[in-house]
């Protein structure tokens, strides 16, 4: 007992933790694509966690991926300012959310999954694309573009939340997505201007509330506003739940 309670040394290897139980679960095979760890330079952690909770409840088998690339930059989240001397890797940072169980995005093939989901956070606009800098003229990471096109061509559903719908709007022409409302409404929708960028990319923007998901049935693209709205976190959790539910429904068809 004493040895079991002994403090771990700094060299003690940690086991790669499982996100879900080890027993096999017959459910949809869902790929979750992350963009780092932290809202201002990576994945919005609460969105990723909510997606995982709702996928777990829905009986899905989840694999997590992220591109093995440097972050655009590192933000000190206590100040909201760039940390000029620091560099981080998107895959390494995303592994924090995945509890170590993650693979490089280059290994993701639509043939091995029934659906793909992209959480938001500025990483989607900084690391998975250049949208944060270039807006409608942005470029999308080549593996992100490949994955979106593979799932779309295979008729497999794609879920995106927060700012991530810009990725699909750029790559899949003429789709329908939502990033929430189109007016700021006194600060409730601080990123409302993104709706115009969605339209400039050639997609149709559909106004939805934070607890709602929009389903483009033709293209099997499901989106929800999440933290594009300034509101209580449980509303965001509910909207993500609606998105995940629709993705899983489409994956079963």
Q: Please state, in angstroms and rounded to a whole number, the distance separating the CA atoms of residues 65 and 49.
A: 14
First to last CA, the chain: 51
- Position of tokens 């693209």? 221
pLDDT tens-digit series, residues 3-58: 445 555 555 555 555 555 444 557 999 999 999 999 999 999 999 999 999 999 99
Q: Please state, in angstroms and rounded to a whole number, the distance separating the CA atoms of residues 65 and 34.
A: 6
pLDDT tens-digit series, residues 162-206: 999 999 999 999 999 999 999 999 999 999 999 999 999 999 999
Q: Are 189 and 216 in contact (CB under 8 A)?
A: no
- The pLDDT mean for the chain works out to 93
Dmax of the chain from CA atoms? 64
Token pair of 126 as six digits: 């900084």
Is the pLDDT score of 1 beyond 50?
A: no
CA separation, residue 13 to residues 10, 17, 132 (Å): 8, 12, 37
pLDDT tens-digit series, residues 200-238: 999 999 999 999 999 999 999 999 999 999 999 999 999
The pLDDT assigned to 23 comes to 46
Rounded to 10 degrees, the C-alpha dihedral 124/129/135/138 comes to -160
Q: Can you give the pTM of this predicted structure?
A: 0.91
pLDDT tens-digit series, residues 121-158: 999 999 999 999 999 999 999 999 999 999 999 999 99
Give the residue numbers annotated as catalytic, written as ranges: 162
Q: Please state, in angstroms and rounded to a whole number, the distance separating the CA atoms of residues 90 and 127.
A: 8
Q: Are 207 and 248 in contact (CB under 8 A)?
A: no
Q: Are 116 and 156 in contact (CB under 8 A)?
A: yes
């Amino acid at each position: 007992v004493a040895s079991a309670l002994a403090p771990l040394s700094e060299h003690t290897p940690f086991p790669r933790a499982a996100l879900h139980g080890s027993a096999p679960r017959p459910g949809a095979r869902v790929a979750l694509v992350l963009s780092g760890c932290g809202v201002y330079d990576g994945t919005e952690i609460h969105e990723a966690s909510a997606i995982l909770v709702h996928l777990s409840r829905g009986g899905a088998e989840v694999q997590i991926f992220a591109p093995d690339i440097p972050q655009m930059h590192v933000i000190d989240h206590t100040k909201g300012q760039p940390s000029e001397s620091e560099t981080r890797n998107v895959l390494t940072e995303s592994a924090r959310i995945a509890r170590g169980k993650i693979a490089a995005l280059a290994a993701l093939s639509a043939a091995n999954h029934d659906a793909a989901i992209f959480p938001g956070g500025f990483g989607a606009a900084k690391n998975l694309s250049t949208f944060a800098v270039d807006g409608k003229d942005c470029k999308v990471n080549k593996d992100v573009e490949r994955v979106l096109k593979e799932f779309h061509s295979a008729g497999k559903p794609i879920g995106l939340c927060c700012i991530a719908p810009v990725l699909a709007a750029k790559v899949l022409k003429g789709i329908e997505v939502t990033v929430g409302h189109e007016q700021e409404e006194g600060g409730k929708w601080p990123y409302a201007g993104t709706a115009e960028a969605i339209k400039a990319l050639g997609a149709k923007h559909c106004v939805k509330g934070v607890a709602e998901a929009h389903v483009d049935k033709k293209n099997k693209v499901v989106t929800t506003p999440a933290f594009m709205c300034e509101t209580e976190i449980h509303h965001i959790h509910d909207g993500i739940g609606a998105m995940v539910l629709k993705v899983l429904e489409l994956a079963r068809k």
